[in-house]
Structures are given as structure tokens and as C-alpha cells.
Structure 1
Amino acid sequence: MAEDNKISEEFEKATSYELKDEDIEKAKLLIGVDIACRDKEQIQTISEDNVRTYAQACGSDNPLFVDPDYAASTRWGSVFAPPMISGFVNAPMLGDKMDPALKEATKGIFRGIHAFISGGEWEFFKPLYPGDTVYSFAGESDIEVTPSEFAGTKVTRFNRSVKMNQRGEIVAIYTYRLILTERKKAREKGKNLSIEPANYSDEDIAKIDELYANDNPRGADKLFFEDLEVGSALPDSVRGPLTVTDVVNFHAGGYGWVPYGLRTGRLWHKNRKRIAPFYVKNEMGVPDVAQRLHWDSEWAKAIGNPRAYDYGVMREHYLYHYLLEWVGDNGWVSRFYDEIRKFNLMGDTQFITGEVTGKREEGGQCLVDVELKMINQRGEETVRCDATVVLPSKKNGVVVLPEPPRDLQRRAVEMISRHRELSAK
């Protein structure tokens, strides 16, 4: 009972922050302002080791990423990192600073407000090879205020991040949706608290095992554009059941969550001084990250969920690797759009289905549109994704990678040139 009281007390403190109209108006000032990203993530430069670790953290043993000898024999000539890894790989890039008046006007907005990513849109242009360093520039592209079924009102911030290598070549463009809600209102609504935990029989696990047993990378076996028709089904697959181990593995794979981060010892002390509202006492009176709702079910309950749950980006990466394994060594995923529709709670299993929704030849490329869904064991759709892949044709068997927009590529070269200029001073 004493522990419950401590959680309640800390909940009251942590949920005293409210969404303010003035913060929303200040956030609008940031729309269209691109700034060089100075974040120093756990991974900054690609290596064979961190590509393998990342792939395995996503549940993939695709030899393109984990077997250098195999990868050397493919069209890629080497192990490479799928460009979606750039979502949490970054080296600090120097650039012109934000206007001081704008920085002061937007300082501390949405402090203490619960934030989570609900999906986004990717465009992929180049792989990342061992030795490549990832830089980026980013900015707000839009902001929306809408009613929320979960928490009364929500603010959605759209952030576009342009990811490039050390040569200034754009490898990916990522526009994600950051959802902001009030923790207290989410708890008061209590909509999700009645969801019962999953419980699996040996027969249930056997069915999941059967799906995994048939879930293998296509490899060198080419999937041709001509092999598919609109309505063609993609192979059924599965991810889960979700455990805390999965979340730990994802962090070990490189997900650092800068600028907040997980810190130990003296670094924990320094981080608390830097961002005190991010730390909320646990039942033992120890200040711990609010982010722990992804592995601490008691804290997750305190803000309106029945149990801890995954990061939505975990399911993005799972689906992306699923597509890469389906297209094989000779295909490419060029666009990926997803909507995270429900929480993936501890113990939940995600069943993957998909179908071809369109085909076209465009700009010398053979493009296939697909729609994917993740359905949990309760029959709920938790993620909807539509993507475009580039496949070889039986006419020539060659896949040409897409090109980024010329104006944006020019901007990327300007940004990396400015970085070098400032670095030399």
C-alpha cells in the first residue's frame, strides 16, 4: 500500500503539466526552420558490428546484414545498413544556429507533456556502408491540434529529418509524427486499463513458432516485377510475443533516444540536473526516467495503460525488415508510410499480413505498391503501412535506386559544406 501511495504521489507531480495554447502558438514559429542536428547518438558511424547488432535487435538474421562473406557476393558488394537505421544513428553536425530570439521564444515548450511517436513516412535513396557517418538536419514541417480518444486533446508535431552521409549524399528523408498528450487526462480517461493481459498455451506458441519457421529471407532468389499481380498476397508473418527483453535488445541495437537518453551512475546524476521533469520517482523513491513506461508496468498504469508497451518505432523497423526480406537481395524499399493505431502491450503478438495494391513502371523503375497490417492476438489492427518497393524486371534484371529531390540534395550539400567550414575553425 505504501508503494502504491508513492506511485500516486509521483503521478500527481508528473501529471501537473498541461497542454497550453501559448506553447502551441510558440511551436508554430518553428515550422519551416531547418537546423543542423547536433545530437550525438550511440551510433555515429556504420560498422559491420553495429549493422549486425541492429539487424538482430529487429529480429532479422538476413545475411546481407549479418554475414560479410555472403554480402560481398551480392550486388551490394558488402554488408550495408538499411537506411532506416538512420532514424537513430547520428553524428553532431555543425551549422548556423537558430535565431536567438526564436530560440528564446520557444524555450521549454511542452515541458513535462507525455510524448510518443505514432508513425511516419520514409523515403529511401542509398544504403549506408561500413565507414559511412550519418549527419542530418531537421525541422518542424507542421503542427495539428485534434481531439484524442485516449487523452482528451492531442497535439501532433510533424518533424522532417533529412539524413545524409559524410559526402552530403541524402540516404533517407524521415517525417515522423510526435504525439503530445497530458498524462493526467490519459489516466483519468482510463480507457485502456481494462485490457486483460495475453495468456498463451503451448498450442498458441506452437502456431507462432510455425510462422517463424516459414519466415526466411528470400536472398538471391529474385522476385521479379512480372511475378506479381494486384491482389497478390504477401507471406504471413509474426513478431512477438512482446517482452521487456525485446525493448532491451532494441536499445542495445543502438536506439539511444537522444536528447533524453538512459544514463547510469554519475551520468544519471548529470542528466537529472539537465532535464529534471523527465525524471519521476519510482515506488522506492528513486528518480527514474518517465520513459520507463516501456518496461515498467506500474508506471505505465499510472499514466493510463494496463501494462508497459513497445516503442512504436520498433514495429516500424520490424515491418521494414520484413519487406526487405521479401524483396530479396536484388530489391529495394523506396517508400514506407505507417500509422501506429494501438499500443503493443507487453505479451501482445503482432501477426503480419499484406497484399499488392498497385504496379507501375515509372522513370525506368518497376514499382510495386503494397499494404501491410499488424493485427494483435485480440484481432485489433495496431499498425497500418503502405509502402513502395523497386523490383527487377525480367527484361533486364536491374534495380536502379531512386534519386532524392534535387533542391533538397543541393541543400544537403550546402549543409555538409558548412559543417566542414565550421569544423576547420
Structure 2
Amino acid sequence: MPETPVTDSRFPLITDEALDELRARIGQQFDRPQPHVTEATRDSIRHWALGIGDDNPLWLDDEYARKSRWGGITAPGSFLYAFDRVVSGYVSGLPGVHAMFAGTDWNWRLPIRLGDRIIAKPALKELRDLNSNFSGRSIKQTYNVTFYNQDGDVVCDADSWCIRTQRDVARDRATRETVEPRVWTEDEISEISSRYATYERRADESRYWDDVHEGDVLPELLKGPSTVTSFVCFTQGWGSLYVKAHGQAFDMFRKHPALGIPNALGVPEPPERVHWDNELARAVGVPAAYDYGPERISWLGNLMTDWIGDDGFLRRLNVQVRRHNIIGDLTICKGTVLRKWQEKEDHLVEVAVRCENQNGEQTAIGTAVAVLPSRG
């Protein structure tokens, strides 16, 4: 496939040679980067939960959690993002080609309990050649990651993928249209504050499978408006991909030169700064700094666990990130019940979930499956 011409080449393009080298790694497990979290402690669970704006006492309050069916503190399933950088969007190969996190298909088998020590085993699963309106030639790069607890039990199996995009092509195409970040009025902020104040989760009131019907609409869950502060809050719980400082940062740039993109002062910083640096975000074709994709998927997990209540279990969450959520955007998390059925003793509900911004544009879509208690 021919390379897409650009007016000003600052970054490498996707080549067949680089792709062939990366394809040779499919199916091979590898030494993954050091994870941010290795054990589900009270502190790490709290940092994660509050980083995604989920203050469910099931994750945070010992006494409350002891009275639940779980008998103690557990963690949101999305907490596993903090245990592995690969499932969070870390990719190898194609140096200098941008990686945009695009989705995860989570399949949980066990709850994450306080004290669990979890290790992930990732492997490159698939490379798919795409043609994108955003950046010309692009690649969907998918990893499979299996998570094990200290007893060797599989806690979760996940597929996670990024879209590798050509930064220069995306930048050139982005100049054709301008999107300005949303500026909110004092009255609008007051209304958002009121909606947060009146929101209620299901909590310890059981949601029975018997009472759920196809077409039921979940209560809306707000997140945002997004700010650099909210991105930093998420990063405190998640740990980021490439955020390092001082000698550790320069060690990383020596090992992976394409990660060091000079800032306006000539100092190398990682491509991850698109999440707080408007200039670099525009350089890769996005109108302003934008959120982390795993954050939005975690918000939809928050929507589901709030709706199913303490007695339910979120078994699957398969979400595609579709649009950038830039600084200033408000996200409304929504869900609609698609169907319900039984598998042996389990009573299951499938829900179509989505994130919409203040303009009604869908920024993430997917499905979730939950196990609910039944009166039967």
C-alpha cells in the first residue's frame, strides 16, 4: 500500500517492512512494562475508584462492604487497567506512529478482592490494516491479556486494541475543520452540579432479574466536564503509560528514541502529553488535549455497577472508543436493556451502553452483560 503524501513530514509513516517485523511477534508472550499496581490494597482501590469518579462504598467502606454478599471490600473490574499497561494501550512496534487507544473487551470471571495480588500475561493477537478518514493508512493492533490472582485463578480475560495512526497525515487533514472546546456558562455549571447532587446508585437494594425488561433505560451518569485536572486525577489511580521524570525519563528515551518528542523548550516528553498539551494534540490531528480511552470505558463500568447494585456481578464490558473527548466536553453515560436470559443457574442481562457528549455525539459504544439475583 503506498504511503500517504504529507505537506510537512515530522513523524514516520506506516511501512510494510515495519508491519512485517511486528507481525512476527503475534502469539508470543513478552516481558511487559512494570505495572502501576500489583496488589489490590485499600489505597490502590481508593485511588482507582475516585480517579474514575466512583465513590461506591462497596469499594471504599470496610463496614459497608462486610455486610454485602462479598463479605468485604472489592474493586471495580476496570481496576485491572492499573495492573497492566498493555491492556491500557501500551503498544510495541511501528516507532513514531501514533497509538490511539480504541477499546477493550473485558470478560471477568471473579471479583477483585482486597489483598489480591494480580499478574497479567499479554500477547499480541492481531494486526489489521485499515484506511482511515482521520489519518489515511492505519493499523488496528489488538492484544490479548489474561489476569491471574495469587492462587493462579483466572480473574479476567481481555482483548484490548489501539489504532496506529500517521500523525502528519492526521494533522494535515485536521486543518480542514476547526472544533473549539466548549465554554460553559455559570448557569450550565450550576445545572451540572445539581444533577451530580441528585444522582443515586442502586447500592444495597437488590435489582432482581425478574424485574428487568427489554427496553428498560438506565439512569444517566454524568462525567465531566473534562479538564486537565480530571485527567490528572485519573492518572493518579491508573498510573499512565509513559509518564516518568528525571533520570528514569531519559533512560526510557534512550531505549525508545521515538517516545521523546521535544516540547517548545526542546526537552523530550512522551506522546502521552496529548492529554494535557493542546499543541501536541493538534500536531496529531486532534483539536485540543483529550481524555484517556480507558477512563471512558471505566465510566461505563461505573454506570453498570451502579445500576445492578451490590448483589449483581458485571461479567462483560465490550466498548469501542469512537470519538475524542476533548477538554471541556461533558460525557453522559447511558444504557438500555437489550435482552435477558438464563445460563444454567445464572440469570443474565445484556445492556447496550454508550457515552454521549454535550452535542449528542456518541464518543463510545458497546455492550455489557451482568449477572443478577433472581427471586426464583
| Shared fold per TM-score greater than 0.5 | yes
Matches within 5 A, 1:220-369: 220-257=204-241, 261-369=242-350
Partner of 2:78: 84
SS class of match (1:189):
helix
Q: Which amino acid aligns with 2:253?
A: R
Matches within 5 A, 1:81-160: 81-90=75-84, 109-160=93-144
Q: Which amino acid aligns with 1:123?
A: N
Shift of 1:331: 0.3
Partner of 1:28: 23
Q: Which amino acid aligns with 2:321?
A: I
**How far apart, in 2, do the equivalents of 1:291 and 1:201 lie?**
30
Moved beyond 6 Å, runs of 4+: none
**How far apart, in 1, do the equivalents of 2:238 and 2:319 lie?**
21
Percent identity between matched residues is 29
From 178, 182, 188, the counterpart of 2:172: 188
Q: Deviations over 1:243-284 (max 9, x none)?
A: 001111111113332xxx211222222222222211111112
Task: Report which of the two structures shows the higher radius of gyration computed on alpha carbons.
Answer: 1
Is 1:49 the counterpart of 2:43? The answer is yes
Contact 1:87 1:174 in 2 (8 A): no
Shift of 1:37: 4.6
Q: Which amino acid aligns with 1:160?
A: N
Q: Which amino acid aligns with 2:184?
A: Y
TM-score normalised by the chain length of structure 1:
0.82
**How far apart, in 1, do the equivalents of 2:84 and 2:149 lie?**
10
Shift of 1:26: 2.6
Cα 1:27/1:184, change in 2 over 3 Å:
same
Shift of 1:30: 2.5
Shift of 1:72: 1.2
Partner of 1:96: none
Matches within 5 A, 1:148-227: 148-190=132-174, 194-227=178-211
**How far apart, in 1, do the equivalents of 2:287 and 2:132 lie?**
18
SS class of match (1:178):
strand
Q: Deviations over 1:15-38 (max 9, x none)?
A: 3311011222232222233x2654
Contact 1:83 1:171 in 2 (8 A): no
**How far apart, in 2, do the equivalents of 1:65 and 1:195 lie?**
38
Contact 1:193 1:301 in 2 (8 A): no
Partner of 1:408: none
SS class of match (2:81):
helix
**How far apart, in 2, do the equivalents of 1:269 and 1:109 lie?**
20
SS class of match (2:141):
strand
Contact 1:192 1:305 in 2 (8 A): no
**How far apart, in 1, do the equivalents of 2:368 and 2:11 lie?**
40
**How far apart, in 2, do the equivalents of 1:203 and 1:246 lie?**
21
Contact 1:193 1:306 in 2 (8 A): no
Q: Which amino acid aligns with 2:260?
A: Y
The CA RMSD over aligned residues, in Å, is: 1.9
Q: Which amino acid aligns with 2:292?
A: Y
**How far apart, in 2, do the equivalents of 1:289 and 1:109 lie?**
16
| Greater displacement, 297-306 / 386-395 | 297-306
SS class of match (1:299):
helix
Q: Name stretches of at least 5 consecutive residues in structure 2 with no aligned partner.
A: 1-6, 86-91
Contact 2:57 2:64 in 1 (8 A): yes
